[in-house]
């Protein structure tokens, strides 16, 4: 009796499992063909020396990775991307959260702001780079500053701050980080706004009835409810900022010595140089991915610890 | 609820589109050409029309974004779907790799036909850029592997009005005169030289010009072979050219991160008195400021030991797919494309230097100034060997850091030499 | 009491000033793009007035015809609608399973998708091109669409799962008692409740596909299959750029995205009001 019952149960659970698996099947199928297969090929190539063209691809095992460990400019480029990321994580996300909170409340012009704040992400990189290059332009014509910022500094008497913004190693990367954060805060804004909108209004009411002030409501209701969305926004910020490169190409060309190199530009350089190094570029990509995974999972771990606490 | 089904309908609708029109099936006798030259696309299309009218044969040009073109060709080679004709946007060593893998046809026989009439009609320098000589370092079977369709020479341009304003009456002929001119310009608030040195190959080109002037071709090539170190006084002098430019404020501010398009805008809008640029600039300046009065000159020499050389002679070339069934048709079309009449059309339409020297007679004046510099032209593609790209990268970046005052010529020379030694050792190990 | 109100007023004014400044920095580039789109090749570098003396509206028409936008625009619409629809369906199914259903290997598969998002595959265009041609999908619309669905998949799954996790389970229980199947719960409970998140996914992927050109250039060979960004290439010569036409083209290209955003952002705000469940 009991044997058939468990059998029946297990058949039912197998059926249920299979049914559940069907939900992820389309995703897994597409993913296997268009991601896992190329990934296996790229990993294979990262163990080889190959110029992208020739028929022979000698296996050199982990030599590319070994060389990467000693590649100072690679680690430097990672640090640059890290700097831009830290900048975006703080300034961009604080701005995005503040604006989302503001637009979550009842206030005038709410709809206007909601639309306007999403203009930078929509704008083409071409336009963004052109505008910011004009703002940060450092040249002069007939004794006049052409760049908006330098012109402004000159007019307001801050002569000592006039700078060669994009060709000065001390300011170039920060300028890029600012422009990147400005272009990207709209994403954080709408995702956080979407998150805020799904919080049950009754929770706020209940907290207020209990006599909690706005700060305490924010700390005890908003933050815990928003934690998963915040983590996603943080992860996406890390991803987007670590992989920034179109903006850099647009603003400083192939770069200011090595001061504006980021991992993706290093990978492109390796792939498109006069003697292309595909194997090395692949090793860079995989090394870079591992680092990103480590960072993201650490963030996830910290957030789940925070939840438990 | 009904609105939720919108995406499903959209999907159905677009699926019907997808199945309705897959890619049009290409007729097999059409010669397909892939290229990245977006400023020439209209002219090419017009020429294909004429070609079809004249001969009844079909040719189709497909244009791709320059930023992805190299990758497109690389991927197509691996998937064995290269078109009948294609350009390669890279160094000779990459071209060599394509040849050795059997992707590019050797055109020796075609060029030799009719007593080498075709070969003789084109500039020797242009042909040389696609030729592999006997015993070349790339181990490629000797021969001509591409058809040059135009030529690019890189020179210095000067703004006549601005120089006059600064009291400089003639274009500087030596480097010292150039520095003096820059000082005079500075006194009246005008910037000196602008160039797209955010694109490092242009830095490389400028430095290479001076290396040829200071030490001559033999010594430059000996350095590439590893027989002369970069710490040699002659190379230090090359680096010092950039230091002198910086110290005397002869470069526009921000030159190291400028794209060449931005640099061209600066010169066209008279924000800088000098520009280092290629012959394509004639068209660009004309578009941005038709009233710009300018002349062209060789980079002013530092030394009189060796003649000044500029990069030129090489331009864009087309390669023929070795496995294409349309090989002969493709060659016939390329021969037609580089004939005098079509070359004149191309030169007038896009203001590029023609690769056919019979066409040079009927081009605009400033262009013929560029063409007349042919005697001074040299190019990495015609040298028997090139520097390793890792060394070149360090070299160019080093010069950038001299320009922003971060490093001295000696420091840069040291660093470049270190990389050179490392690369040489690695190569030696590989050979073993 | 009074001073408290004054403080609050002052606070609100300060907030508004801050918001307006941020809004201004966002609007300025849009204004600049439109301004440049209405100038001519001759005036674009010389006319420095805020509103140019002569406005050339025909630039939009010129850009449309010279850029051959008719074909490219239609292609982009096809690609964007099918990729976004595909991503919404495939990723919401998967995210629902990862969030609400139990099956062995669940965590493994979920973390596989998340990890994939992190690893950039430089040079993956080589194996991808080879593969597509072996599958006879090279130079076809469907091949490009499938590739683009894959590009947006991981991120959309992560985003949707996060929102499904937040969903209250009582509605789901009610639906189950009412005899809804798993698919029914996905369709009638999960999707409507997560509509703000779906709106974000739609906006994100629309923008991504609409602006994509690298993969299109690599996988497609025929001009007739290329998306809108190919048209913009006509104005950016290797050396000379027709800035006025480029800006007109960019404005045309941005318009549909702005419309999608205007339409979708309402869903972000709609929130939890639609609680009714119909099986």
Nearest to C194 by CA among C105, C54, C112, C92: C92
Q: Crossing angle for the helix pair C141-166 and C106-118, nearest 10 degrees?
A: 120
Distance from the Cα of C223 to chain A's closest Cα (Å) equals: 22
B111 with B59: CB under 8 angstroms?
no
**Highest mean pLDDT (candidates A38-42, A200-204, A222-226):** A38-42
What was the pLDDT predicted at C2? 64
Q: Would the CB atoms of A139 and B98 count as touching at under 8 Å?
A: no
Q: Which helix (H) or strand (E) holds B158?
A: strand B154-159
Cα B308 from Cα A56, distance rounded (Å): 41
Most C CBs within 10 Å: which of A14, A94, A194, as the mutation test of the C interface? A194
B29/A48: higher pLDDT? A48
Give the position of tokens 């700060």: A215
Distance from the Cα of B332 to chain A's closest Cα (Å) equals: 27
Distance from the Cα of B340 to chain A's closest Cα (Å) equals: 33
Q: Would the CB atoms of A39 and C124 count as touching at under 8 Å?
A: yes
Is the pLDDT reported for residue C88 higher than 90? yes
What was the pLDDT predicted at B27? 53
Q: Crossing angle for the helix pair A172-197 and C243-270, nearest 10 degrees?
A: 30
Q: Would the CB atoms of C118 and A239 count as touching at under 8 Å?
A: yes
Q: Which residues of B touch A139 (CB under 8 A)?
A: 191, 252-254, 266, 271-272
| Domain boundaries B31-151+315-382, CATH class | alpha beta
CB under 8 Å to B32, separation ≥6 — which residues?
B26, B60, B62, B83, B84, B85
Strands B377-378 and B310-311: parallel
Nearest to A171 by CA among A125, A121, A135, A119: A135
Mean pLDDT computed over A42-50:
93
Residue B420's CB: how many other CB atoms inside 10 A?
Answer: 22
Q: Crossing angle for the helix pair C195-211 and C243-270, nearest 10 degrees?
A: 170
Task: Please report all neighbours of A, defined by 3+ CB atom pairs within 8 A.
Answer: B, C
Q: Which helix (H) or strand (E) holds B63?
A: strand B59-63
Q: Which of B39, B74, B288 sits opposite C126 (nearest CB)?
A: B74
CB under 8 Å to B385, separation ≥6 — which residues?
B137, B221, B224, B225
Q: Digits of tens for pLDDT over chain B (432 positions)? A: 334 444 444 444 444 444 444 444 455 789 999 999 888 888 999 999 999 999 999 999 999 988 889 999 999 999 999 999 999 988 889 999 999 999 999 999 999 998 899 999 998 888 998 999 998 999 999 999 999 998 889 999 999 999 999 999 889 999 999 999 999 999 998 999 999 999 999 999 999 999 999 999 999 999 999 999 999 999 999 999 999 999 999 999 889 999 998 999 999 999 999 999 998 888 888 888 888 999 999 999 999 999 999 998 888 899 999 999 999 999 999 999 999 999 989 888 888 888 888 887 777 778 888 888 888 889 998 899 999 999 999 999 999 999 999 999 999 999 999 999 999 998 888 777
A142 touches chain B (CB under 8 A): yes
Q: Measure the CA angle with vertex B92, ends B86 and B96; round to 5°.
A: 75
Q: Would the CB atoms of B406 and A276 count as touching at under 8 Å?
A: no
A102 with A94: CB under 8 angstroms?
no
B397 touches chain A (CB under 8 A): yes
* Phi/psi at A48 (5° precision): -125, 165
Mean pLDDT across chain A, nearest whole number? Answer: 88
A2 touches chain B (CB under 8 A): no
List the single residue in A with minimal CA-CA distance to B72. Answer: A52
Q: Which of B1, B67, B281 sits opposite C278 (nearest CB)?
A: B1
* Phi/psi at B121 (5° precision): -75, -20
| Region of B148 on the Ramachandran plot (φ > 0 left; ψ -120 to 50 alpha; else beta) | beta
What was the pLDDT predicted at B408? 96
Q: Would the CB atoms of A140 and B389 count as touching at under 8 Å?
A: no
Q: Which residues of C touch B7 (CB under 8 A)?
A: 84-85, 88-89
Q: Would the CB atoms of B91 and A275 count as touching at under 8 Å?
A: yes
Q: Is B171 helix (H, G, I), strand (E, B) or coil?
A: coil
Q: Would the CB atoms of B257 and A256 count as touching at under 8 Å?
A: yes
A243-272 residues touching C, CB cutoff 8 A:
243, 264, 267-268, 271
Tally A–C CB contacts below 8 A.
218
Q: Crossing angle for the helix pair C243-270 and A125-136, nearest 10 degrees?
A: 110
| CATH T-level assignment (fold) for domain C68-273 | MetI-like fold (1.10.3720)
Asked if residue A57 belongs to a domain, the reply is: no
List the single residue in B with minimal CA-CA distance to A276. Answer: B94
Asked if residue A241 belongs to a domain, the reply is: yes
Residue C14's CB: how many other CB atoms inside 10 A?
Answer: 10
Is the pLDDT reported for residue A128 higher than 70? yes
Q: Which residues of B touch C241 (CB under 8 A)?
A: 261
List the single residue in B with minimal CA-CA distance to A167. Answer: B254
Q: Would the CB atoms of B64 and C225 count as touching at under 8 Å?
A: no
Distance from the Cα of C245 to chain B's closest Cα (Å) equals: 13
C180 with C197: CB under 8 angstroms?
no
Cα C250 from Cα A123, distance rounded (Å): 9
In B253-306, DSSP assigns E strands to 272-278, 294-297
Asked if residue A203 belongs to a domain, the reply is: yes
What was the pLDDT predicted at A281? 94
Q: Would the CB atoms of A27 and C104 count as touching at under 8 Å?
A: no
Helix H segments across chain C?
A: 2-37, 58-66, 69-100, 106-118, 125-134, 141-166, 169-177, 182-185, 191-193, 195-211, 214-219, 229-232, 243-270
pLDDT (tens digit per residue) in C95-133: 999 998 888 889 999 999 988 888 888 878 889 999 999
CB under 8 Å to A59, separation ≥6 — which residues?
A47, A48
Residue B218's CB: how many other CB atoms inside 10 A?
Answer: 10
Structurally, how many domains does chain A consist of?
1
Q: Which of B7, B11, B284 sits opposite C240 (nearest CB)?
A: B284
A269 touches chain B (CB under 8 A): yes
Mean pLDDT computed over C223-240:
85
B392 with B420: CB under 8 angstroms?
no
Cα C59 from Cα C65, distance rounded (Å): 10
Distance from the Cα of A168 to chain C's closest Cα (Å) equals: 24
Cα B396 from Cα C178, distance rounded (Å): 72
Cα B331 from Cα B113, distance rounded (Å): 12
Tokens for A169, please give them: 């190693």
Q: Which residues of C touch A27 (CB under 8 A)?
A: 90-91, 93-94, 113, 153, 157
Q: What range does the domain containing A184 cover?
A: 68-308
Cα A190 from Cα A232, distance rounded (Å): 13
Q: Does domain B154-311+387-431 have CATH number 3.40.50.1100?
A: no
B7 with C260: CB under 8 angstroms?
no
The residues that bridge with A140 in the sheet, in sequence order, are A145
The residues that bridge with B159 in the sheet, in sequence order, are B294
pLDDT (tens digit per residue) in C25-67: 999 999 999 999 998 887 887 777 778 888 889 999 999 998 8
Q: Would the CB atoms of B103 and A137 count as touching at under 8 Å?
A: no
Q: Which letter, b or e, does each residue of A273-289 get, where b requires 16 or more Cβ atoms within 10 Å of its Cβ?
A: bbbbbbbbbbbbbbbbb
Percent of chain C with pLDDT over 90: 46
Is the pLDDT reported for residue A92 higher than 80? yes
Q: Which residues of B touch C142 (CB under 8 A)?
A: 18-19
Is the pLDDT reported for residue C276 higher than 50? no
Cα C148 from Cα C159, distance rounded (Å): 17
Nearest to A124 by CA among C207, C62, B265: C207
B51 half-sphere exposure, CB direction, 13 A CA radius: 24
Most A CBs within 10 Å: which of B257, B264, B383, as the mutation test of the A interface? B257
CA distances for A89 relative to A113, A280, B117, B197, angstroms: 22, 30, 66, 32
Mean pLDDT computed over C226-235:
89
Tokens for A209, please give them: 């009835």
The conformation of residue B23, written as its DSSP 8-state character, comes to P
Q: Which residues of A touch C132 (CB under 8 A)?
A: none
Nearest to B319 by CA among B141, B119, B99: B99
List the single residue in B with minimal CA-CA distance to A60. Answer: B430
The pTM for the full model equals 0.90
Cα B383 from Cα A23, distance rounded (Å): 61
Q: Is ipTM over 0.90?
A: no
Distance from the Cα of B56 to chain A's closest Cα (Å) equals: 35
A200 touches chain C (CB under 8 A): yes
Q: Would the CB atoms of C200 and A191 count as touching at under 8 Å?
A: yes
Is the pLDDT reported for residue C273 higher than 50? no
Q: Would the CB atoms of C192 and B14 count as touching at under 8 Å?
A: no
Percent of chain C with pLDDT over 70: 95
CA distances for B70 relative to B91, B94, C217, C218, angstroms: 11, 10, 11, 10
The residues that bridge with B144 in the sheet, in sequence order, are B131
Give the position of tokens 């001969």: B55
Give the position of tokens 């056919």: B356
Cα B103 from Cα B78, distance rounded (Å): 10
What was the pLDDT predicted at B23? 40
Is the pLDDT reported for residue A64 higher than 90? yes
Tell me how many helices (H) and strands (E) chain A has.
16, 2
Cα A154 from Cα B406, distance rounded (Å): 26
Q: Which letter, b or e, does each residue of C116-138 get, where b requires 16 or more Cβ atoms within 10 Å of its Cβ?
A: bbbbbbbbbbbbbbbbbbeeebb
| Region of A147 on the Ramachandran plot (φ > 0 left; ψ -120 to 50 alpha; else beta) | beta
Domain boundaries, chain B: 31-151+315-382, 154-311+387-431
B388 with B314: CB under 8 angstroms?
no
Task: Please report all neighbours of C, defined by 3+ CB atom pairs within 8 A.
Answer: A, B
Q: Which residues of A touch B71 (CB under 8 A)?
A: 271-272
Domain boundaries, chain C: 12-56, 68-273
């Amino acid at each position: 009796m009991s044997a058939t019952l468990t059998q029946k149960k297990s058949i039912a659970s197998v059926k249920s499992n299979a049914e559940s698996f069907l939900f992820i099947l389309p995703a897994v199928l597409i993913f296997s063909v268009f991601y896992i297969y190329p990934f296996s090929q790229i990993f294979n190539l990262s163990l080889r020396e190959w110029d992208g063209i020739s028929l022979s691809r000698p296996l050199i095992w982990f030599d590319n990775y070994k060389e990467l460990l000693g590649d100072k400019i690679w680690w430097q480029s990672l640090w640059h991307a890290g700097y831009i990321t830290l900048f975006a994580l703080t300034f961009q996300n604080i701005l995005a959260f503040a604006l989302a909170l503001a637009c979550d409340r009842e206030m005038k012009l709410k709809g206007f702001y909601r639309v306007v704040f999403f203009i930078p992400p929509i704008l083409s990189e071409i336009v963004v780079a052109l505008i910011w290059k004009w703002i940060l332009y450092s040249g002069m014509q007939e004794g006049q500053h052409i760049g908006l910022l330098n012109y402004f500094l000159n007019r307001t008497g801050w002569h000592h701050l006039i700078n060669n913004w994009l060709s000065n190693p001390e300011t170039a990367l920060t300028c890029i980080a600012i422009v990147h954060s400005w272009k990207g805060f709209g994403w954080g804004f709408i995702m956080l706004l979407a998150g805020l909108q799904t919080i049950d209004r009754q929770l706020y009411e209940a907290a207020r009835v209990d006599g909690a002030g706005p700060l305490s409501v924010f700390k005890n209701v908003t933050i815990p409810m928003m934690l998963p969305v915040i983590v996603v926004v943080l992860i996406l910020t890390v991803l987007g900022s670590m992989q920034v490169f179109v903006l850099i190409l647009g603003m400083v060309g192939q770069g200011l010595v090595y001061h504006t190199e980021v991992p993706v530009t290093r990978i492109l350089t390796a792939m498109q140089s006069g003697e292309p190094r595909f194997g090395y570029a692949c090793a860079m990509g995989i090394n870079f991915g591992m680092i990103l995974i480590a960072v993201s999972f650490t963030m996830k771990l910290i957030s789940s610890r925070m939840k438990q606490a | 609820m009904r609105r939720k089904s919108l995406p499903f309908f959209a999907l159905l609708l677009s699926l019907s589109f997808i199945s309705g029109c897959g890619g049009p099936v290409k007729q097999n006798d059409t010669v397909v050409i892939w290229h990245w030259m977006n400023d020439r696309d209209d002219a090419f299309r017009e020429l294909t029309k004429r070609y079809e009218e004249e001969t009844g044969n079909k040719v189709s040009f497909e244009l791709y974004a320059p930023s992805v073109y190299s990758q497109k060709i690389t991927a197509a080679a691996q998937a064995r779907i290269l078109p009948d004709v294609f350009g390669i946007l890279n160094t000779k060593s990459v071209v060599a790799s394509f040849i050795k893998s059997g992707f590019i046809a050797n055109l020796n026989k075609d060029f030799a036909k009719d007593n080498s009439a075709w070969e003789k009609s084109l500039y020797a320098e242009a042909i040389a850029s696609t030729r592999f000589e006997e015993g070349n370092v790339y181990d490629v079977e000797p021969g001509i592997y591409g058809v040059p369709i135009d030529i690019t020479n890189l020179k210095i341009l000067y703004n006549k009005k601005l120089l006059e304003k600064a009291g400089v009456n003639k274009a500087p002929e030596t480097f010292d005169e150039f520095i003096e001119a820059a000082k005079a310009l500075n006194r009246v608030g005008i910037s000196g030289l602008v160039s797209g040195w955010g694109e490092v190959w242009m830095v490389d080109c400028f430095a290479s010009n001076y290396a040829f002037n200071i030490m001559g071709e033999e010594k430059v090539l000996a350095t590439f072979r590893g027989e002369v170190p970069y710490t040699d006084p002659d190379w230090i002098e090359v680096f010092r050219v950039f230091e002198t430019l910086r110290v005397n404020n002869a470069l526009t501010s921000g030159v190291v991160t400028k794209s060449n398009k931005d640099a061209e805008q600066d010169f066209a809008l008279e924000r800088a008195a000098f520009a280092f640029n290629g012959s394509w600039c004639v068209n660009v300046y004309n578009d941005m400021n038709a009233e710009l009065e300018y002349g062209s000159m060789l980079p002013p020499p530092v030394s009189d030991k060796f003649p000044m050389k500029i990069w030129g002679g090489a331009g864009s070339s087309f390669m023929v797919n070795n496995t294409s069934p349309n090989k002969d048709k493709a060659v016939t079309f390329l021969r037609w494309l580089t004939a005098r009449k079509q070359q004149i059309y191309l030169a007038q339409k896009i203001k590029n230097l023609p690769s056919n020297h019979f066409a040079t007679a009927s081009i605009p004046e400033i262009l013929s100034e560029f063409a007349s510099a042919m005697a001074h032209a040299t190019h990495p593609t015609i040298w028997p060997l090139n520097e390793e790209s890792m060394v070149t990268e360090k070299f160019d970046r080093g010069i950038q850091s001299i320009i922003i005052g971060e490093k001295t010529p000696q420091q840069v020379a040291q660093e470049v030499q270190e990389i050179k030694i490392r690369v040489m050792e690695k190569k030696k190990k590989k050979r073993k | 009491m009074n001073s408290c109100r004054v403080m609050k007023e002052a606070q609100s004014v300060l907030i508004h000033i801050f918001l307006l400044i941020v809004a201004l920095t966002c609007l300025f580039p849009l204004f600049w793009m439109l301004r440049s789109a209405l100038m001519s090749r001759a005036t674009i570098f010389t006319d420095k007035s805020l509103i140019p003396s002569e406005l050339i509206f025909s630039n939009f028409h010129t850009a449309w015809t010279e850029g051959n936008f008719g074909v490219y625009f239609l292609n982009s619409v096809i690609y964007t609608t099918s990729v976004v629809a595909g991503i919404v369906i495939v990723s919401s199914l998967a995210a629902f399973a990862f969030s609400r259903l139990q099956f062995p290997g669940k965590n493994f598969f979920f973390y596989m998708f998340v990890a994939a998002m992190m690893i950039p595959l430089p040079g993956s265009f080589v194996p991808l091109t080879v593969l597509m041609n072996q599958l006879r999908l090279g130079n076809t619309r469907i091949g490009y669409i499938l590739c683009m669905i894959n590009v947006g998949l991981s991120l959309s799954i992560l985003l949707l799962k996060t929102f499904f996790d937040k969903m209250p389970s009582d509605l789901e229980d009610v639906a189950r008692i009412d005899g809804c199947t798993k698919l029914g719960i996905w369709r009638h409970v999960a999707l409507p409740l997560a509509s703000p998140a779906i709106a974000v996914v739609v906006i994100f992927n629309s923008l991504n596909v609409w602006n994509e050109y690298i993969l299109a250039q690599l996988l497609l060979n025929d001009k007739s299959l290329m998306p809108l960004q190919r048209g913009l290439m006509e104005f950016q010569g290797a050396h000379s750029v027709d800035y006025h036409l480029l800006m007109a083209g960019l404005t045309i290209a941005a318009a549909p995205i702005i419309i999608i955003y205007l339409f979708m952002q309402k869903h972000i705000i709609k929130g939890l009001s639609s609680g009714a469940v119909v099986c």
